[in-house]
Chain A
Amino acid sequence: MKSFAALFTAIDGTTRTNPKVAALADYFATAPEPDRLWTVALFSGRRPKRAATTTELRRWAGEIAELPDWLVEDSYAVVGDLAETLALILPEATTEPDTGTLTDWLTRLSTLPGRPEEERRAAVETAWSSLGKTERFLFNKLITGGFRIGISRKLMTRALARATERDEADIALRLMGDWTPATMTWDRLIHANDPEAEGARPYPFCLAYGLDSEPETLGAPDDWHAEWKWDGIRGQLIIRHRQHHLWSRGEELMTDRFPEFARAPDFLPDGTVIDGEVLAWDVDAPMPFAALQKRIGRKTVPKKLLTEAPAMLYAYDLLEDGGEDIRALPFADRRARLEALIVNLPDDAPLRLSPRIPFADWGTLAQHRLTARDKRAEGLMLKRMSSPYATGRKRGDWWKWKLDPLSIDAVMIYAQAGHGRRANLFTDFTFAVWDGEALVPFTKAYSGLTDEEFGQITAWVRKNTQQRFGPVRQVTPVHVFEIAFEGIQASPRHKSGIALRFPRMARWRHDKPPSEAGTLGELQALLAQYG
């Protein structure tokens, strides 16, 4: 655990890329193999099974530190990270420092899930009392999952390539898939050729940046391919050895979740890999995201849902053709091959070509973009005709040109302090719209204002608190904000009956009195149109 903690400290102690990669590469070259494997797993989002719930951890730590629950909560609200909060409130280590390796610790943790609480608590307490502050924080991170510590997957891949003297793209490919340290060895991950694993292995997804300037700056329209940016689940469909695999962008295997694609090997040849968007499909058009959402959380799908929200892959790109990796070919060539492949498919195949939007000038395309919502799309995608299929996010070749968000003016009614640096500012707000004489809360939002505006609103909240409910303050309803959001859907769980996607504060409407804020009727109209 010591050397892993040292690695963490080195990575966490700098904001610069090169020292981070160097520290990682050094670790990969020197740490014991099982530790390396676990480190790769952790930094690529693979987490061990939970040995304790966060509720249990809070309670245990609070009892050891002799602090009431609410104070642990208040501390967490300020620190913004539970693993760190608990590491900080616990008393200093009391027993001999532990010399176990990262793998020792993870092995110990792996025996705990399912055991009675006393047993799990005893094991966790033993760890807490023998680990230093940084190690204790990392230990808590291992239990609670979510190991984001400022190292992107790309940087880790680079370090791994450097340490093993292998090609970065090859390493990136090898890290894909749903392996765990229990099912994998270092040697197999980095060196071996395993036909079965390779058969299922997806390519790293190519991602786009948001377009942040006028499209005219991109140059000649002829150099670009435009299509809709669909609002579904980005997926990669793989046909190899007469088997099919469907991966999400988060590298989750979704094959069983979408049995519709079981027929794919019947009409697609071996050695085919297609990048596309999985959508819920209604005869000839995509359904709203909410329909697909019903299927996301499920491992297996009941019959009823299969008929109510059948899945379709809208194909964007072809990555492998006839068993050949064609990612380096220009997009135009890959697209031509994709079209040739799809043109012969039967009508009832769960696979279609995401249509191209022809345009002669940028003005025409801008007009198309405005109709995206009617198409149930989020906006447009622009791909340079000559572009290869890049690994990860790369500037310049692919752009997403999203629709301007929907918006409504709303009144602030509750405020809550933020986390970490923003703990002394009120940054989390609840907004309401009018329903007759009453204000109905309909969304929370906590981003979109400048630090200065947050400062102003904080000073105001302090002086205009009407009532406190724990950390939440009810404030005088006088301030109006324009709330922007990406989508809207019906939600019986909410008082207002609606839920927004990605709400944020677009503007502080100093010019509007609360009486001029929006109404529930307006939201319902938006729901009817776009929900």
Chain B
Amino acid sequence: MSPVLIFTERGIYCPAGDFYIDPWRPVDRALITHAHADHARPGHNRYLATDIAAPVLRHRLGDITLNTVRYGETRTIGDATVSFHPAGHVPGSAQIRVEVEGEVWCASGDYKTAPDGLSTPFEPVRCHAFITESTFGLPVFRWRPDADLASEINAWWQAAQEAGQTPVLGAYSFGKAQRLLTLLDSNIGPILTHGAVETTTQVMRVQGLPLPATTHVTPEMKIKDHPGALVLAPPSALGSTWMGRFGTTTTAFASGWMQLRGIRRRRAADKGFVISDHADWDGLNSAIRDTGAERVFVTHGYTDSFSRWLTDQGYDAAPVPTEFGGEEEEEDA
């Protein structure tokens, strides 16, 4: 019997169901874990994703043929039974469970074990084989609770206000930006958003996610009409001429990579907040333990180190051959 899932140059493939998971070349049938660009690519004939992922997916990929499922709902595709389970990474993100003749495999996509108040919280999926990401698969990556981060970010906002500076917070426009919106304390002042952040936020607001009010930064907008405001923008806007309109600014960047001093300094932002949509070291280890899987395939990140570690822990673990790993894009971290 062929394995439930195999790694091909188009992506993860299920021979029994003749479909791909997060393929990076055009295929007939694509199951999409979530709407980040390195997982959801254009050009496939048919897409299947969660209902919660659908609005942003449509917003990003335009007019695609998209079917949706709810978390936990099963579908039969060929000889395979598939279901989507919360991955806790961004709203609508899923781990995809595939069962063929009683053998269960699960492809995690990207995941985060700690709840963030916006994404449906991560649920472990019992399986025989687990395909895990390892973006932060080294023991130097450990996150603090969201409450700590919230007070750190809000304190930074307040300090900027007192110093007469406009704080500009850089974060990826889908996922990280909205999570920050839930952490920011609107009592401190108004929140202004860059267009890239605003449009995605608006899509998610319309679908009913609890997001605070924001003001879109337009060319006509005057910063003095919004005293004490904080600006939320994609990382590419930090340091660009777009910043000119805000007077004296102080910048910060929010990402798991901010854990490392070298990266923090090279970012050349005034401050780095360690906040990630991916599981940290402890999260990866507990998630894998909770699947009960014997076999673990490691993709996306520190694959060599992390699979060696898992092997030491008694798993039958291996990095996914790198030529099939797709290119690594700095989309979300």
Contacts and interface: CB of A to CB of B under 8 A. Distances in A.
Interface stretch (A67-75, A164-172, A247-255, A321-329): A67-75
Interface in B306-333: 308-309, 312, 322-323, 325, 327-328
A419 B322 CA distance: 20
A65 interface: yes
Contacts of B140: 75, 78-79, 85, 88-89
Given A13-B270, A71-B309, A75-B140, A463 B260 contact: no
A81 B302 CA distance: 18
B323 A463 contact: yes
A350 interface: no
B322 A75 contact: no
Contacts of A65: 139
Secondary structure at chain A's binding surface: helix, strand, loop or mixed? helix
Interface in A1-35: 12-15
Interface string B135-146: 000111110000
Contacts, number: 64
A15 B142 CA distance: 25
Contacts of B302: 74, 78
Contact of A75 (B138, B265, B304, B308): B138
B224 interface: no
A424 interface: yes
Interface string A435-467: 000000000000000000000000100110000
Contacts of A421: 262-263, 266
A84 interface: yes
A108 B260 CA distance: 28
B139 A89 contact: yes
Contacts of B308: 70-71
Contacts of A15: 265, 268, 270
> Which bucket holds chain A's interface residue count?
20 to 34
A463 B262 contact: no
B305 to A, nearest CB: 4
B156 to A, nearest CB: 10
Given A13-B270, A68-B312, A462-B323, A420 B139 contact: no
B138 A74 contact: yes
Contacts of B265: 12, 15, 150
B200 interface: no
Nearest to A70: B308
Interface string A101-127: 000000000000000000000000000
Contacts of A265: none
A221 B140 CA distance: 57
A84 B261 contact: yes
B281 to A, nearest CB: 9
Interface string A143-177: 00000001000000000000000000000000000
B36 interface: no
A85 to B, nearest CB: 6
B139 A75 contact: yes
B259 interface: yes
B271 interface: yes
A459 B327 contact: yes
A215 interface: no
A249 to B, nearest CB: 26
A80 interface: yes
Contacts of B138: 71, 74-75, 78
Interface string B240-265: 00000000000000000001111101
Contact of B142 (A14, A74, A79, A88): A88
Contacts of B304: 74
Interface of B: 138-142, 259-263, 265-266, 268, 270-271, 302, 304-305, 308-309, 312, 322-323, 325, 327-328
26 contacts: A12-B261, A12-B265, A13-B270, A14-B270, A15-B265, A15-B268, A67-B139, A68-B309, A68-B312, A71-B308, A71-B309, A74-B304, A78-B140, A78-B302, A80-B262, A81-B261, A81-B262, A84-B260, A88-B141, A88-B259, A89-B140, A420-B262, A420-B266, A421-B262, A462-B322, A463-B323
Task: Enumerate the 7 nearest inter-chain pairs by beta-carbon distance, A residue then B residue, closest first.
Answer: A420-B262, A88-B140, A74-B305, A462-B322, A89-B139, A463-B323, A75-B140
